[in-house]
Amino acid sequence: QLQLVESGGGLVQPGGSLRLSCAASGFTLDYYAIGWFRQAPGKEREGVSCISRSGSYINYADSVKGRFTISRDNAKSSVYLQMNSLKPEDTAVYYCAAGRFASSRCARAADPYSHWGRGTQVTVSS
């Protein structure tokens, strides 16, 4: 069974850090680009970052550029999102998703992604 499971969310003060993990099972992660998305209450889902299947191409939303870092370890079937200098507006449920792309790239749009995790809550508050 193809499955993605996010972990690492929690409550953190503004300026703090969290590291989210996305663990894949039931399929070979090497063939998939991975995207991180988030959705806050009352807001549309936002593509935060993505990484190509080899890790050679990475893209970030302007809202997180310079603060978040995406990485992957295909040997461990895992993708990570290191989040630093967190702000209250980063509060959301964070999802990882896997998708196959024709080129060695990725995208922060949701449509190309076929497999989704259930999400992990990130709350930034003092």
pLDDT in tens, 53-107: 999 999 999 999 999 999 999 999 999 999 999 999 999 999 999 999 987 899 9
Q: Dig out the tokens for 103 from the structure.
A: 């080129």
Angle at 17 between CA 24 and CA 61, to 5 degrees: 70
Calculate the dihedral angle through the C-alpha atoms of 36, 26, 71, 42, rounding to the nearest 10 degrees: 10
Question: Which pLDDT score, from 0 to 100, does residue 1 have?
Answer: 80
Q: What is the rounded average pLDDT of the residues 21-36?
A: 94
Count of CB atoms within 10 A of residue 12's CB? 18
**pLDDT at position 2 over 90:** no
Query: At residue 65, what is the residue type?
Result: K
Average pLDDT, the chain: 96
Band of residue 33 on the pLDDT scale cut at 50, 70, 90: very high
Per-residue tokens: 16: 């703090």
Q: Measure CA 109 to chain center.
A: 12
Give CA torsion, residues 110, 71, 54, 47, to 10 deg: 10
